[in-house]
Chain A
Amino acid sequence: MADLRTNFLGIKSPNPFWLASAPPTDKEYNVVRAFKAGWGGVVWKTLGDGDPIVNVSGPRYGAIHGPDRRLIGLNNIELITDRPLEVNLREIKQVKKDWPDRAVVVSLMVPCEEENWKAILKQVEETDCDGIELNFGCPHGMSERGMGSAVGQVPEYGVAHQYNLINHVG
């Protein structure tokens, strides 16, 4: 069997298959089951600061099916994690401790103010996770609040902001 190990940005994982930041990585229960199934890493469902966001309780998903009802496209109007930050941080720390050979990256989205980023990065660092992913892509709900794709769609903003992050925090 071929050697599937990867070293990505210095983050080691037994194979290149990571779960993306989304419901499959929203909590310890899911992530542990994923690791048992063999996933090489996860990007934890995006964390925010302040009070947890609230999701709609109506339908969240839409799908395009092929003629054989195989799912071809999936649409969602779900936001970032709706669980308290402390709970997520505690679980991330536990999971990384229990699964040291798997990649655990934490996705983040907070208002574009230095203070917010400084505060959350410090907390995330304490989980011993392997890295962070900046959610500058989410196109719905959060972008109307000045985050996600509202940042990613303005390249200058994003670049300046990442530069600040690297300079001041990382």
Chain B
Amino acid sequence: MSVDLDQMSPWPVVDGQGTHGGYCGPAVKPIALNMVAEIARDRETHGLPISAIGGVTTWKDAAEFIAMGAGTVQVCTAAMTYGFKIVEEMISGLSQFMDEKGYRTIEDFKGRAVSKVTDWQYLNLNYVVKASIDQDLCISCGRCHQVCEDTSHQAITNQVNGQRKFIVKEEECVGCNLCAMVCPVESCITMVPQTKGTDPRTGYEYGRPYANWTTHPNNPASKAAE
């Protein structure tokens, strides 16, 4: 978990010693969600009732697990962190979400996301998004430029005509989403699907039909390679 650097022992320290334990809470949710998804979509285990556990803290976490095939969710850390009353928000939140979406019962949306889980090789390689910065929302903090410049594709300006300005260079942007995740202003950077025109980065038309790696010419195993 961690090392207490004063006592030079793993934490929690029990009279000078430590041991590994069980890890839970929000940090394990992505791992748990993946496991539930794999059980739900595997041919052998598909349809097995799943009571999902791991980091459920809000109604939204619960809804995600249910959409991924869970029949119920189980909660420990959230109750231990915020007390039993947290279930009130979970119940009202889930209920409101269902009302908004027109789901009358849990069964109405249970497992709805399972068929969307696929292997990387079946993803559409012709789908293109580009980052777009809302200049009215931008506070010019510069974080998007910093991360894209240092660790991605040098696709965001920090100056335009001598002015501090952050604009996405369409010809460089690979649509990775890093800038949108580090931007401190919500909805300031959006990833916009491209449908018309030509991608200045690749020279290909936007909006070409679905095509995945299994048929890509660069794939040595591709059957459809000309």
Chain-B contact segment, one of A37-45, A88-96, A120-128, A160-168: A37-45
* Residue from A22, A58, A138 in contact with B80 in the complex, judged by beta carbons closer than 8 Å: A22
Q: Contact: B25 with A2, CB < 8 Å?
A: no
| Contacting residues, chain A, for B70 (C-beta < 8 A) | 16
**Stretch of B95-103, B140-148, B217-225 that contacts chain A:** B95-103
Report whether A4 and B15 are in contact in the complex, using a CB–CB cutoff of 8 Å.
no
Number of interface residues of A (CB under 8 A): 50
B71 touches A16 (CB 8 A): yes
Is B162 located at the chain interface by the 8 A CB criterion? Answer: no
Q: A62-B1, A62-B2 are in contact. Are A75 and B73 (CB under 8 A)?
A: no
Q: By DSSP majority rule, is chain B's interface helix, strand, loop, or mixed?
A: mixed
- CB pair B85–A37 under 8 Å, yes or no, is yes
The reply to whether the CB of B77 lies closer than 8 angstroms to some CB of chain A is yes
* Complex contact A4–B95 (CB within 8 A): yes
**C-beta contact mask, A1-21 vs B, less than 8 Å → 1, else 0?**
111111111000101111111
B112 beta carbon closer than 8 Å to chain A: no
The 27 sampled A-B contact pairs (Cβ below 8 Å) are A1-B99, A2-B98, A3-B105, A4-B94, A4-B95, A5-B105, A5-B106, A6-B71, A18-B75, A19-B75, A19-B79, A22-B76, A23-B76, A24-B79, A24-B80, A39-B84, A40-B72, A58-B13, A58-B14, A58-B15, A62-B1, A71-B25, A71-B26, A72-B25, A75-B23, A77-B21, A77-B22
Interface residues of A (CB under 8 A from B): 1-9, 13, 15-24, 33-34, 36-41, 43, 56, 58-64, 71-78, 103, 138-141
